[in-house]
């Protein structure tokens, strides 16, 4: 069975597109996929009742992405790939990258090929490029490898180790958003006011740097403060919504050490850092029925 994890970006989204570092974690929710020889190439996506054929010029991005991935294999029989998606799409949890990684993993397995997870993540970039135009690569890398890691565009993931697990509570605003549009909006701001936006990216870089130390030292209080600051900087880039802001406040009032939007913003998900597992439930209740707890070992 092929698998691609979802991910939560702890700090550094958007700046990461422009070469600044980010910290992300892989979560256990993701996409499972199976591939088997068939009469023709077909991709089935279970929860959406979708079945599509690869087409490099197709109108559907999924048709083009599937074609891009199949193009990576020579000498193969036609394959039917069946994927089960456990993540909301357009929600900042890396759903599209997780599908790409799971599909590649399933095809590798069906063809009796095995490669390191990091290489699988790199290979899934062609899939992500179809959806996002200019992805940093953080989603596909984390989807394949997991754990807690520092990511810089074009470089291998650097795992961050700690003896304290991170207990995150992820809440979904119910507002879907397009990563491509959000990344384009930040790029426009960068072009029209380069000094202000570069200063914001540099401030985010400092938060990422300090968060690496906070995670390593198991200092969750410091990490929570850094998350709140990153949330404010993302809001200054107009990536927050009233709903997401209210959810972050509700999480803090329910005992979270910090809370922020995650991923592209403009909708999608936020997450909160719980002081420990036993206190996560109260925060989850404050975030609504879609919220879930993700415990990650660093």
Positions that interact with ligand PMV (CB under 6 A): 9, 13-14, 16-17, 92-94, 132, 135-136, 138-139, 179, 183, 263-264, 268
Nearer to ligand PMV, 68 or 220 (CB): 68
Kindly report the number of other CB atoms within 10 A of residue 159's CB atom. Answer: 12
Query: CA-CA distance, 255 to 267, in Å (whole number)?
Result: 23
Active-site residue list? 139
What residues have CB less than 8 Å from 12, skipping those under 6 apart?
20, 21, 22, 23, 24, 151, 204, 205, 207, 208, 230
Is the distance from CB of 250 to CB of 288 less than 8 angstroms? no
Only one residue has tokens 């000498």, namely 75
List the Cα angle 160/133/123 in 5-degree steps.
55
Which lies closer to ligand PMV via its Cβ, residue 67 or residue 140? Answer: 140
- Closest to 107 in 3D by CA, of 139, 75, 136, 59: 75
Q: Name the residue nearer to ligand PMV (CB basis): 14 or 64.
A: 14
Q: How far is the CB of 53 from ligand PMV (least distance, A)?
A: 25
Q: Which residue has tokens 């993931």?
A: 157
Minimum CB separation from ligand PMV for residue 90, in Å? 8
Nearest residue by C-beta to ligand PMV? 263
Of the pair 104, 110, the CB lying nearest ligand PMV is at 104
Q: Which two tokens stand for residue 25?
A: 């974690």
At its nearest, how many Å lie between ligand PMV and the CB of residue 111? Answer: 28
Nearer of residues 104 and 220 to ligand PMV, judged by Cβ = 104
d(CA 132, CA 23): 20
Distance CA 81, CA 282 (A): 39
Cβ-contact 271, 260 below 8 angstroms: yes
Nearest distance, CB of residue 133 and ligand PMV, angstroms: 9
Q: State the minimum distance, in angstroms, from the CB of residue 226 to ligand PMV.
A: 17
């Amino acid at each position: 069975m092929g698998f691609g994890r979802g991910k939560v970006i702890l700090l550094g989204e958007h700046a990461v597109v422009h070469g600044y570092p980010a910290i992300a974690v892989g979560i256990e929710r993701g996409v499972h996929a199976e591939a088997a020889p068939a009469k023709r190439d077909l991709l089935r996506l279970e929860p959406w009742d979708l079945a599509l054929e690869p087409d490099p010029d197709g109108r559907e991005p999924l048709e083009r992405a599937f074609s891009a991935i199949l193009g990576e294999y020579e000498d193969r029989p036609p394959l039917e790939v069946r994927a089960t998606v456990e993540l909301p799409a357009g929600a900042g949890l890396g759903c599209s990258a997780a599908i790409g990684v799971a599909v590649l993993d399933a095809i590798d397995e069906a063809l009796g090929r095995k490669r390191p997870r990091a290489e699988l993540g790199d290979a899934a970039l062609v899939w992500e490029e179809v959806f996002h135009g200019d992805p940093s690569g953080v989603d596909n890398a984390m989807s394949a490898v997991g754990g807690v890691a520092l990511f810089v565009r074009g470089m291998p993931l650097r795992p961050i180790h700690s003896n304290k697990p991170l207990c995150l509570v992820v809440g979904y605003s119910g507002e879907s958003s397009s990563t491509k549009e959000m990344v384009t909006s930040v790029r426009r701001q960068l072009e029209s006011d380069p000094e202000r936006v570069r200063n914001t990216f540099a401030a985010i870089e400092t938060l990422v740097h300090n968060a690496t130390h906070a995670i390593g030292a198991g200092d969750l209080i410091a990490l929570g403060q850094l998350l709140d600051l990153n949330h404010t900087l993302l809001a200054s880039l107009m990536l927050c919504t009233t709903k997401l802001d209210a959810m972050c406040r509700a999480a803090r009032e329910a005992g979270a050490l910090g809370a922020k939007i995650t991923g592209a913003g403009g909708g999608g998900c936020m997450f909160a850092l719980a002081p420990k597992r036993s206190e996560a439930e109260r925060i989850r209740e404050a975030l609504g029925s879609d919220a879930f707890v993700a415990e990650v070992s660093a």
